[in-house]
Amino acid sequence: MQLYGVENTKEFDLAFHALIPAAGAGTRLRGEQPKQYLAIAGRPMLWHAVKSVCVAPVETVFVVLAPDDREFAGHDWSAFAGRLEPLYCGGVTRRDSVYNGMVGATAVMDPDDWVLVHDAARPCLPAQDLAQLIDQVRGDSIGGILALPVAETVKTAGKDEAGATRIAATVDRSQLWLAQTPQMFRCGLLMQALREAKAAVTDEAGAVEQMGLRPRLVAGSRENIKVTFPEDLKIAEAILENRRRRS
């Protein structure tokens, strides 16, 4: 089986692209509006996610939307004119949306180009984290992701005879990391991994791992929060407001 990019250790790089899957509904926030369009610091959360990856050397940011998305067109994306491309081909799962988006962008993406897949729900990606990811991974033969070493004590759980949830064991956290985004891979390699994935995957690295490959881990930061629950909106807004004041 050919593995695109695995043998490619060229000193020079081709183009960089970013892809943001944004076809989900974000049901855990219990709102009628899709999560990616919830307002943070006066802008849709998706706007901040796009801004965070719409920087050099990224040439194009593809946003993968649901086929029936009617809200995207109602927002102002002029700050990213010429670099933002909406693709209305989102699927049922994250894997489907990312794969469909990459298929839709094949006219622009060369198999050896880099693609950085970023969560629409991560509006606070620090510029230094992105720069560090690109710097450390651009010479890697496989690719890599931002991730955070687990700092808290980790427990596994089980139910007792009465149905109460109890600690089953304490897990060694020294080898545990929390996956973040962006996740950065050669376009051809990632498309192959997603196409051939035989089990459900919740991130791009998981699909690449199924090929027997081991993506690189690049330490990120806690500021790169994923907005999942209502209280996360206030945390993300505070992070962005603090940056605005410092700038």
Q: Distance between CA atoms of 233 and 5, rounded to whole angstroms?
A: 38
Query: Nearest-5° angle of CA 205, CA 122, CA 110?
Result: 50
How high is the pLDDT of residue 24?
Answer: 83
Which of the four pLDDT bands, split at 50, 70 and 90, describes residue 66? Answer: very high
Pairwise pLDDT comparison (28 vs 94), residue with the higher score:
94
Q: What is the pLDDT of residue 13?
A: 56
What pLDDT, in 10s, does the model give residues 218-237? 999 999 999 999 999 999 99
Name the residue type at position 93.
T
pLDDT digits (tens, 9 = 90+) for 124-180: 999 999 999 999 999 999 999 999 999 999 999 999 999 999 999 999 999 999 999
What residues does each domain of the chain span?
16-246
- Report the chain's mean pLDDT, rounded to a whole number: 93
Q: Is the pLDDT of residue 57 over 60?
A: yes
**β-strand 177-186 against 114-117: which pairing, if any?**
antiparallel
Give the domain 16-246 fold. Answer: Spore Coat Polysaccharide Biosynthesis Protein SpsA; Chain A (3.90.550)
In 10 A of CB 36, how many CB atoms? Answer: 27
- Residue 40, CA distances (Å) to 16, 63, 231 in order: 27, 18, 12
User: DSSP of 52-87, one letter per residue?
Assistant: HH-STTEEEEEEEE-TT--SGGGS--GGGTTTEEEE
Whether 120 contacts 21, CB under 8 Å: yes
* Residue 33: predicted pLDDT: 85
Cα 10 to Cα 47, 138, 221: the distances in Å are 34, 10, 29
Q: What does the pLDDT look like over 94-124, one tens digit per residue?
A: 999 999 999 999 999 999 999 999 999 999 9
Q: Which residue has the higher pLDDT, 207 or 24?
A: 207
229 phi/psi in degrees, rounded to 5 = -115, 160
Lowest mean pLDDT segment, chosen from 180-184, 191-195, 198-202: 198-202
Whether the per-residue pLDDT at 83 is higher than 50: the answer is yes
